[in-house]
Amino acid sequence: MKKPLPKGVVVFLVGALLLVLSQSVFVMHQVEQGLVIFLGKPSRPITAPGIHFKVPFVERLYTFEKRVLIMDQESQEVLSADKKNLKVDNYTSWRIVDPLVFFRTVRSEEGAVQRLNDIIYSNLREVFGQYKMMEIVSGAREDLMQKMRDGANERARQYGIEIVDVRIKRTDLPPENSKAVFRRMQTERERQAKQYRAQGEEEAVKVRAKADRERAVILADSYQESQRLRGEGDAEAARIYAEAYQVDPQFFRFRRTLEAYQRAFSKDTTLVVEPSGFFRLFGQNPEMDQ
């Protein structure tokens, strides 16, 4: 009958087994990816989540982020196509897509950030040099960021990195140039304002001249029509008066004399004249002058 192993040996063997097992089995999470290193040399990448195995004490595991990482760069000075200095504040979204290439080239995230800083800054200067300042701060920003992302992505592939996006947070002029640019913009806006005022005044003069001409035409037409109507009225009145005079000449003279009295004595007036036929209605015999 075999003798049982000593308790100490059993504990040692169990411990050794657990140690070997812990060095052989590892779990890869969904947000991670790994690279197995065999005797200091990259062996195989691990990208699928779950339980994996490696040779204990001979193979080592390096893990990397699988998620999108953000690199926030400091403000950089670049030169636009019209030779304007600009301070650009931007950030870059990136991720590791090939752990094997990544480890061989930059080895860690810190090394990757250093390379990406150089790549983004170089590409930033190249792309900004193709646009004028007004294009950069106005309508061409989306196209500019697209070119920056594509250009940086081509250079980053050699490091096992994919550039997801490059975004410009802020674009400013250096402090020494801000006042000069502001004065030029102010002068340009004042020139445009004067031009618009002159055009508006010219248009107002045209409108007023047209309105005055139409007013003069309307007044002339109205005056002509009023004169015609007045002439027709006078003619009709003369006809009626003539017919009335023919019917009763004595009454017509009487009425005309009263109208003359009304015009002569319409105000406080004193007349000193010799008696005449004009005052025949004030005499004892109204028919004295018939």
Hey, what are 290's tokens? Answer: 């018939």
Burial environment of residue 168 by CB neighbours within 10 A (0 to 12, 13 to 18, 19 or more)? middle
Tell me, what's the pLDDT at 162?
Answer: 92
Tell me, what's the pLDDT at 178?
Answer: 64
| Phi and psi based region of residue 224 (left: phi greater than 0; alpha: psi -120 to 50; beta: remaining) | alpha
> Are the beta carbons of 36 and 46 closer than 8 angstroms?
yes
Residue 73: what are its φ and ψ, rounded to 5°? -90, 155
- Give dist(CA 148, CA 166) in Å, integer: 7
- Give dist(CA 166, CA 149) in Å, integer: 5
Hey, what are 266's tokens? Answer: 């319409």
For the chain, the maximum distance between any two Cα atoms, rounded to a whole number of angstroms, is 189
Residue 287: what are its φ and ψ, rounded to 5°? -100, 20
Instruction: Please report, for the chain, the start and end positions of each structural domain, with discontinuous segments joined by +.
Output: 19-65, 69-173, 248-290
Tell me, what's the pLDDT at 134?
Answer: 77
Hey, what are 271's tokens? Answer: 């007349």
Between the alpha carbon of residue 33 and those of residues 97, 122, 127, 258, the distances in Å are: 9, 29, 33, 126
Regarding the domain delimited by 69-173, which CATH topology (the fold level of the hierarchy) does it fall under? Tetrahydropterin Synthase; Chain A (3.30.479)
Q: Where are the beta strands (DSSP E) in 80-155?
A: 85-96
Tell me, what's the pLDDT at 288?
Answer: 43
Please give the chain's pLDDT, 290 residues, in tens: 556 656 666 566 666 666 666 666 777 888 788 888 877 777 777 877 778 777 676 777 788 888 889 998 888 888 888 777 888 888 899 998 988 888 888 888 889 999 999 998 888 888 888 878 777 777 677 788 888 888 889 899 999 999 998 888 887 776 666 666 677 788 888 999 999 999 999 999 999 999 999 999 999 999 899 998 988 898 888 888 777 777 777 777 777 777 777 776 666 666 555 555 555 555 545 454 44
Neighbour tally for 195: CB within 10 Å = 10
Model confidence, pTM: 0.53
Q: Which of 165, 158, 41, 39 is CA-nearest to residue 102?
A: 158
| Phi and psi based region of residue 49 (left: phi greater than 0; alpha: psi -120 to 50; beta: remaining) | beta
Three-state DSSP state, 178: helix
Tell me, what's the pLDDT at 204?
Answer: 92
Tell me, what's the pLDDT at 280?
Answer: 58
Hey, what are 232's tokens? Answer: 């027709």
Tell me, what's the pLDDT at 28?
Answer: 80
